[in-house]
């Protein structure tokens, strides 16, 4: 249901872009806010998906194919609907965020393995393979130092590609998604659930049934997102005073639907997964047809 709300908000945002000449200024301002909330919803869902996905490479491939299909539709809209999109679509940003988080996970895991190896045997063990870090695809096992290096390189390439290719929300979007991911993982606690669920307050029960699954995840996510938005805004204000955008703080509204709506069970149904990725370009097709009917013709 949270995903459905994200798609509805995204559709409203598309509607404001494609039919801006027909809509009042108040609606356009509201649509900008809803677009930021929609981005935060999908960033949160992406972060949660990365905590239980079994194949990051397939996840990345699906996002990339969706991004190119959406970009093709936007190019056609520029050619035939008299529109201009200064940045690449946001699905590219989600794909870059996935790459960044994959590199971050590899770097953190390799660092932990490297420290464990140094602490347990001073790096003199005849067989250091138990301390190797596996990566996808192929489940290759890498020495910790190599995993750390590849993780840092992957993070840097993800950020550079997002900035150089002018993805929508760019570095901000990557770091917001990473904040959600860091809030949702428990490196030293594989089961954050407690046994006394029945005796918990209504708020805690809502959180446990939501995408956060535990109140400490919610608290970490809120503090990380609030702190990051504050730091990002101050940096923009200091370096690019005229471009500083306080509207990013509206991303904090994501916690309302995220807490109130129960999480859905992960689905392995291929048709449902395909439908989820197809909704984005289908929404674009609908608003493009509306622009053709009410603005162009």
Residue 59 pLDDT more than 70? yes
- CA dihedral for 117, 119, 121, 123, sign (positive or negative): positive
Phi, psi for 39 (deg, rounded to 5): -60, -45
Residue 107 pLDDT more than 70? yes
Range with the lowest mean pLDDT among 125-139, 172-186, 204-218? 125-139
Residue 141 pLDDT more than 80? no
pLDDT tier for residue 147 given thresholds of 50, 70 and 90: confident
Separation CA 193–CA 26 (nearest Å): 43
Structure token pair of residue 291: 């622009």
Quote the domain boundaries for residue 19.
Answer: 2-296
Range with the lowest mean pLDDT among 30-44, 70-84, 109-123, 168-182? 109-123
Structure token pair of residue 101: 């988080």
- The number of domains in the chain is 1
Q: Which residues contact 89 (CB under 8 A, 6 or more apart)?
A: 67, 70, 71, 74, 167, 168
Write out pLDDT tens, residues 247-274.
Answer: 999 999 999 999 999 987 766 676 777 8
For 243, counting Cβ atoms within 10 Å of its Cβ (0-12 exposed, 13-18 middle, 19+ buried), the class is exposed
pLDDT tier for residue 186 given thresholds of 50, 70 and 90: confident
Report the share of the chain in percent with pLDDT over 90: 61
CB 212 within 8 A of CB 259: yes
């Amino acid at each position: 249901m949270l995903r459905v709300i994200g798609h509805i908000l995204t559709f409203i945002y598309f509607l404001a872009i494609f039919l801006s000449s027909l809509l009042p200024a108040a609606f356009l301002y509201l649509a900008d806010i809803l677009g930021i909330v929609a981005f935060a919803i999908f960033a949160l869902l992406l972060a949660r998906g990365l905590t239980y996905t079994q194949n990051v490479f397939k996840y990345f491939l699906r996002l990339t194919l969706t991004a190119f299909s959406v970009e093709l539709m936007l190019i056609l809209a520029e050619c035939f609907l008299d529109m201009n999109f200064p940045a690449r679509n946001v699905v590219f940003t989600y794909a870059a965020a996935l790459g960044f988080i994959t590199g971050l996970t590899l770097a953190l895991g390799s660092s932990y393995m490297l420290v464990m190896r140094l602490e347990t045997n001073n790096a003199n063990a005849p067989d250091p393979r138990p301390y190797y870090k596996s990566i996808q695809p192929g489940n290759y096992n890498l020495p910790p130092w190599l995993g750390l290096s590849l993780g840092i390189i992957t993070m840097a390439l993800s950020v550079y590609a997002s900035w150089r290719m002018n993805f929508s929300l760019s570095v901000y979007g990557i770091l917001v998604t990473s904040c959600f991911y860091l809030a949702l993982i428990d490196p030293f606690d594989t089961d954050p659930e407690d046994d006394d669920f029945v005796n918990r307050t209504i708020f805690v029960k809502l959180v446990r049934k939501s995408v956060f699954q535990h109140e400490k995840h919610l608290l970490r996510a809120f503090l990380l997102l609030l702190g990051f938005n504050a730091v990002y805004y101050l940096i923009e204000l200091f370096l690019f005073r005229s471009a500083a955008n306080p509207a990013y703080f509206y991303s904090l509204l994501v916690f309302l639907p995220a807490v109130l709506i129960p999480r859905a069970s992960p689905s392995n149904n291929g048709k449902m997964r395909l439908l989820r990725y197809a909704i984005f370009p289908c929404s674009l097709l609908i608003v493009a047809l509306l622009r053709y009917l009410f603005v162009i013709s």
